[in-house]
Structure 1
Amino acid sequence: MALLTKPETPPPPSRRRRLVYRLRVLRHDPTAALGLILVILLAYLVVAPLIAVLSDAFRLQYGDDVHAGQQPGEWTGYYMWRVFRSQISGLLFWEPLLNTLVIAVGTTLFALVVGGGMAWLVTRTNVPGRKWLAGALVVPYMLPSWTFSLAWLSLFKNERAAGQVGFLQAQGIRTPDWLAYGALPIIVTLGLHYYPFVLLLVGNALRRIDAQLEDSARILGAPQRTVIRRIVVPLMLPALSSAVLLVVGRVLGTFGTPYVLGLPADYRVLSTGLFQSIRDRSTGVASVLATVIVVIGVLIVLTDTRLMREHRRFVTVGGKGAMDRLSDLRRWRWPLFGLGLVVFVVSVLVPVFTLLLSTVTRTPLDLSTFTLDYWLAEKLPGAVGFPHGVLRGSELWTAAWNSLRIVGLASLICAVAGLLIGYVVVRGTAPRVAAFLRQVSFLPYLIPGIAFAAASLSLFAVARGPLPALYGTTFLLILVMAVTHLPYSSRSGIAAMMQLGREPEEAAQIAGASWWQRMRRIIFPIQKGALVTGIVLPFISGLKELSIVIMLTTTGTQLLTTLSIGLVDYGYTQLANAVVLVIALVSFTMTYLTQRLTKSSLASGLGG
């Protein structure tokens, strides 16, 4: 009887064969390796700066050992005590925090009244020119935020600040400090810049409310105030809460307007206090302030997420005809159109033409003193730091080239990285990697720009390991601008990849195409719309960005935005206004070309 023998198991493949096999798999599908690379990059560029700024808040810096009684580099609570409990904590933190809250509340109320009113006008009424108004009222956001503050100074500036006084003061009308500087002008100018957020969010929500619900309530005898209180307002809560938190988050991190209108009156907010601490080389104090701003920003977005979950129960489904039903304004049609026109004039034409006139008149806005010296003069009398017109010399052109080059490269990197993140998240087989990329790529959105700039400065200002110090380099500006705009491109990339099936790529893989060939011949061409959006939107936003770059630029890396603020510091008001007009022209032109190229509009869904 033959014995049954166990079949011999084949010998395990050699280490060399396993390596060759893995390399072949990696060549045809390097998604896992790409995901690992992206995880490492995002961990270093997004998470590490936050850890670095938190570390600097609790490690004693050189020069503070005498006051703290500890050795540099030791763990310490000295900076926490200095910011929150010391004799100067009111100046460092509590007063700027109170001012920030006042500005945030005032700006939000202003934006809600103006933006909400205009949203109702262009979405729920038969006002003439609805489509034109819907597009025109979004224009203020295309302008740099401190455009309005410089226009305000051109009208109301008094002798307290350096440089030429404003129009009213030049005409012999005394403008008090509370009107020229401080809370009131900051609230008004920021409100004029941010009300388009409310217009877009509230307008789209109003347009989707089923008017049949309101009609039914009226038929049952409910008065108008009851309809608004019991039906319209609850249905509007998601949009209203998002608008409020978005405006508050933006105000928290904005720098240009509080700096221009607050500095002459020593009116500090958290963002300008953070900048001043870094300028004074108080790294520990700046790190604590940056940490506070980061925490507040994160709490704002988490609150918005929680509220959105709470408000999901306010959902209505109705026919499109019911949604588009408009209220007949009757004899109020043209007066209310005039009101919308006034808002457009005040928020766009007045600031732009005020700045333009200030750059072509020696006495503010007095056409009898017309001059082109501030644009074309080879030598300006009395000017030292900038002794010629803005179009003369090399400063403007160097700053413009730096802006276009740095912002352009950052936008290109941002778009490609966003699409690759979308590819790994959708195509990858590692759920933890996908979750990490999805969440960490969105993290810069939670952090106000000036706080993220401070965090990046904390990490990259000195050499760490094999990496040299990057402060003052073009590379650091490109890197930080790309990372801060990554939330938009990554979300665009994820959405685009979720809409693309696997079939085209699998067919190419069967035909023998490598991964790079599939990306170059299939993925990138099909997703060119997402790539264009991922490039152009960060480019437009980056051109007028100040909060992120104000602490990272040096003399050799001057941008248009920092050049303008530098001229404000010198007291050269007309020259600063001219540079802002150049920024506004480039920004508006790029926005217009983008809308024509993508056949979209910022105000799509409103009016018409």
Structure 2
Amino acid sequence: MTHDVQPHASATRPAGRARYRTRIALSQPTTVIGLLAAALFTYLIVVPIIAMLSDAFRVQARDETRAGAEFASATTYYLDRVFTSPLAADIFWGPLLGTLGIAVAAIAIALAVGGSLAWLLSRTDLPGRRWFSTALIVPYMLPSWTLALAWTTLFKNRTTGGQLGWLEAVGLTPPDWLAYGWFPISVVLGLHYAPFVILLLGNALRSFDSQFEESARMLGARPATIARRITLPLMRPALLSAITLIFAKCIGDFGVAYVLGSPADFTVLSTSLYQAFATGQIGTSAVLAGAIILIGMISLLVDLLLLREGKRFVTIGGKSAKHRRIALGRFRAPLGAWAAAVFVVSVAVPILTLLLSTVMRRPGVFRWDNFTLDFWAGTDIGTVGLAQGVLRTPELWAAAWNTLWIVGTASLSAGLLGLLVGYVVVRSPFRLLGGFLRQVTFLPYLVPGIAFAVAYLSLFAVPRGPVPALYGTALILVIALTAEQMPFASRAGITSMTQLGTDLEEAAQVAGAGWWRRMTRIVVPVQRSSLAAGVLMPFISGVKGLSLVVVLAVPGTDLLTTYSLRLVDYGFTQAANAVVLIIAAVAFFGTLLGQRLTRSSLADGI
């Protein structure tokens, strides 16, 4: 009898302990909050993407005749339309080739500019090195389409009508290939993302010991051989990571391609998606958005694999790594001039061009009687549709207020939710729950903004159960911006909670403090700097972001970015440039404030 009972008891004790641990874990607030957060982010992130993808396989309203099926029935019509129909070349394949061509060219420009500067800043005695380390990453702090508007201000020609560009105003007519299309988009994106290369490659160059290069040099190796056999192989993970990140960014970029491509009917995937959405082609939009998401996810997943591979190279240098700066000798002044030229072209000229354009009655005429502040604060500027200066227009202040409260609310929500996600991931006894939250909050980073916006429209454009239709309201912007910023906010929360021990909370719990009191009296006050950063950085990103809000915003819920784009569409160049300068100033000084709060610097690398 004893031999019959003992195995049974030994088998039930582990099961009983497991049930007991589960019951205890489920009774903890951390687990309950984690389950609620998992349900919330599944609805806000996963469900919209699934709803959008389902639209690609269901007949949409007004497409019944063309699809040859009833409304909401299953169909492959939209797949055929996008990929194989006679219109496929205009809808998908042409924009895809344009997108890939721009991405390749932008990557080449970013690597050439950023790679050379990263080496100069990290390994040489470049004059003004400390100043350039910060100044050359300023383009990364500004909206990507700031340089695009400056470009069109300088090189615009009469092909599209409207105001003259500066060069044409002085008698030089830029050719179409210089004014619009593939070339200017590639140059602008290449210069905008060159800081990516400076940050990633510069960080890698500082991570290994320069004695390897010194040893090769002492053995008689030529500089080209050292670069090919030592430096480049060690830099391979950082270079490939920069390439994949820039590629993913170029796939989803909308503002630059819209400003410089639309006048010449040059379309990329993001503008083709926008056109399909603007003309009410819901099924086609869903297919295009799905294709963009797939390409973006593949490229960024490749980057994650490369990042994992790159960890193998970290131990090469270590804390004992020595960095001997290479003396540039007679090349010091020319290479310093090269760094200064990049700053002038990518930062100084665009900002100065936009600023001067806002105080000129006629473009490109540099006479005192042509300068005016009317476009900023004038009361009767004689422009049809824009009678007053931009600072006197109610639309600007409405857009500024919308930006402040919509983006601010979304950023505050993202920061608080990010802290809760970090708390659950670090404190929850259920690893699967923490792992799910970690992954689901990272998912928006893999989805380009314009595709994520279309996904939100698929879910919230019509009433679904108790949730009313939200399109055209500010609430859909708040929710979408909150979800989009969760990758940054959750990572900030996870990082900060990892650094916070459990001693203080355990002592408070022993003293009888409940979970809410522990959070408000201990966790939040201790993590206030991390929380501030987790709110400020999403706010900056939301202020200068365009790809997401351009689809979701309507005239009544315009933000500063969408308001400036409408001014571009209407041909109000001076007013549009003025609004972009305001956005750039907020983004730039906000980034500096964020660095001060976090006691970090982008110049130190990623």
Alignment partner of 2:391: what SS? Answer: coil
**Paired residues for 1:574-589 under 5 Å:** 574-589=574-589
How many Å apart are 1:381 and its aligned residue? 1.9
| Aligned equivalents of 1:247, 1:201: Cα separation in 2 | 12
1:402 and 2:407 correspond: no
Q: Is the 1:146–1:256 contact (alpha carbons within 8 Å) kept by the matching residues of 2? A: yes
CA contact (8 A) 1:354 1:365 kept: no
Matching residue of 1:287: 286
Aligned twin of 1:13: none
Query: What is the deviation of 1:230?
Result: 1.6
Structure 2 stretches of 5 or more lacking a match? 1-19
Gaps of 5+ in 1: 1-20
Query: What is the distance in 1 between the residues matched to 2:600 and 2:161?
Result: 44
Mapped pair 1:466 → 2:503? no
1:508 has 2:508 as partner: yes
- Preserved CA contact (<8 Å) 1:235 1:315: no
Cα pair 1:210 1:316 within 8 Å, conserved: no
1:379 aligns with 2:380: yes
In structure 1, the partner of 2:307 is 308
Measure how far apart 1:72 and its partner are.
0.6
Q: What's the counterpart of residue 438 of structure 2?
A: 438
Aligned to 1:6: none
Query: C-alpha displacement at 1:399, in angstroms?
Result: 0.6
Answer whether contact 1:28 1:514 (CA < 8 A) is retained: no
Q: Does 1:603 align with 2:600?
A: no
| Structure 1 residue 26, shift from structure 2 partner | 9.2
Aligned to 1:542: 542
Deviations 1:386-431 (A, max 9, x none): 3321011211111111111111111111111111001111111112
Counterpart position of 1:450: 450
1:495 equivalent in structure 2: 495
Task: Specify the SS of the correspondent of 2:248.
Answer: helix
**Alignment partners' CA distance in 1, 2:318 and 2:554:** 57
Alignment correspondent of 2:425: 425
Amino acid at match of 1:459: L
* Alignment-derived partner of residue 229 in structure 2: 230
Residue matched to 2:45? 46
Would you say the 8 A contact 1:27–1:514 is kept in 2? no
1:366 positional shift: 1.7
Q: Secondary structure at the match of 2:241?
A: helix
Who is 1:156 aligned against?
155
Structure 1 letter corresponding to 2:155: F
SS in 2 for 1:327: coil
* Total equivalences in the alignment: 584
1:518-567 Cα shifts (integer Å, max 9, x gaps):
00111111111220110111111111010010010011111100011001
CA gap of 1:37–1:596, structure 2 versus 1, over 3 A, is same
Distance 2:530 2:592 in 1: 18
Deviating above 6 A after TM superposition, structure 1's stretches of 4 or more consecutive aligned residues are 24-28
Task: Tell me if 1:199 matches 2:198.
Answer: yes
* Residue 95 (structure 2) aligns with: 96
Residue 251 of structure 1: how far off its partner (Å): 0.8
> Structure 1 residues 433 and 377, CA, compared in 2 at 3 Å: closer, same or farther?
same
The residue aligned with 2:28 is 29
* Aligned partner of residue 590 in structure 1, secondary structure: helix
CA distance in structure 2 between the partners assigned to 1:586 and 1:600 by the alignment: 19
8 Å CA contact retained: 1:355, 1:577: yes
C-alpha RMSD over aligned residues? 1.8
Q: Measure, in 2, the Cα distance between the counterparts of 1:429 and 1:197.
A: 37
- Please tell me whether residue 567 in structure 1 is matched to residue 572 in structure 2: no
- Paired residue secondary structure (2:316): coil
8 Å CA contact 2:41, 2:441 repeated in 1: yes
In 2: Cα distance, 1:274 partner to 1:458 partner: 14
Residues 320-346 of structure 1: per-residue CA shift (max 9 Å, x gap): 574321101112222211211111111
Superposed, 1:176-191 pairs within 5 Å as 176-191=175-190
In the alignment, the residues of structure 2 paired with residue 511 and residue 318 of structure 1 have an alpha-carbon distance, to the nearest angstrom, of: 48
- The TM-score, its normalising length taken from structure 2, stands at 0.94
Q: Which amino acid aligns with 1:373?
A: D
CA distance in 1, matches of 2:26, 2:215: 63
| C-alpha contact (below 8 Å) 1:163/1:572 kept by paired residues | no
Structure 1 pair 321–309 and aligned structure 2 pair: CA distance change class (3 A) = closer
Counterpart of 1:549, as a letter, is V
Provide the secondary structure at the position in 2 that maps to 1:105.
Answer: helix
Structure 2 residue aligned with 1:121: 120
Q: Which amino acid aligns with 1:300?
A: S
Percent identical: 55
**Is 1:298 matched with 2:306?**
no
1:375: Cα distance to partner?
A: 1.1
Structure 1 residue 250: Cα displacement: 0.7
What is the CA-CA distance between 1:159 and the residue it aligns to? Answer: 1.1
Question: What is the alpha-carbon distance in structure 1 between the residues aligned to residue 560 and residue 307 of structure 2?
Answer: 38
Say whether the 8 Å CA contact 1:375–1:390 is kept in structure 2. yes
Specify the alignment match of 1:9 in structure 2.
none
Quick one: which amino acid aligns to residue 44 of structure 1?
Y
Q: Match of 1:38, as an amino acid?
A: A
Question: 1:295-336, CA deviations, whole angstroms, 9 ceiling, x for partnerless residues?
Answer: 011101111122334444434434657432110111222221
1:145 to partner: Cα distance? 1.0
Q: CA deviation at 1:25?
A: 7.5
Deviations 1:233-260 (A, max 9, x none): 1110111111111111111111111001
Task: Report how far residue 142 of structure 1 moved.
Answer: 1.5
Provide the secondary structure at the position in 2 that maps to 1:391. helix
Query: Which residue number corresponds to residue 17 of structure 1?
Result: none
Distance between the aligned counterparts of 1:331 and 1:27, measured in 2? Answer: 70
CA drift of 1:227 comes to: 1.5
Q: Is the 8 A contact 1:162 1:571 kept in 2?
A: no
- TM-score, normalising length: structure 1: 0.93
CA distance in 1, matches of 2:317, 2:479: 47
| Correspondence for 1:221 | 220
**3-state SS, counterpart of residue 603 of structure 2:** coil
Q: What whole-Å deviation, never above 9, does each CA across 1:176-214 have from its counterpart, x for those lacking one?
A: 111110000101111121111111001111111211111
Q: Is the contact made by 2:422 and 2:494 (CA closer than 8 Å) also made in structure 1?
A: yes
Could you give the per-residue CA deviations for residues 565-586 of structure 1, whole angstroms, max 9, x where no partner exists? Answer: 0011111111111110111112
Separation (CA, whole Å) in 1 of partners of 2:502 and 2:267: 54
Q: Does 1:531 align with 2:527?
A: no
Give the equivalent residue in structure 1 for 2:555: 555
* Offset at residue 439 of structure 1 (A): 0.5
Q: 1:453 to 1:323 in 2, by over 3 A?
A: farther
Give the residue type in structure 1 aligned to 2:242: A
In 2: Cα distance, 1:57 partner to 1:416 partner: 35
Is this contact kept in 2: 1:150–1:355, CA < 8 A? yes
| Aligned-residue offset at 1:605 | 5.4
How far the C-alpha of 1:294 sits from its partner, in A, is 0.5
Counterpart contact for 2:530–2:598, Cα < 8 Å = no
- What is the identity, as a one-letter code, of the residue corresponding to 2:74? W
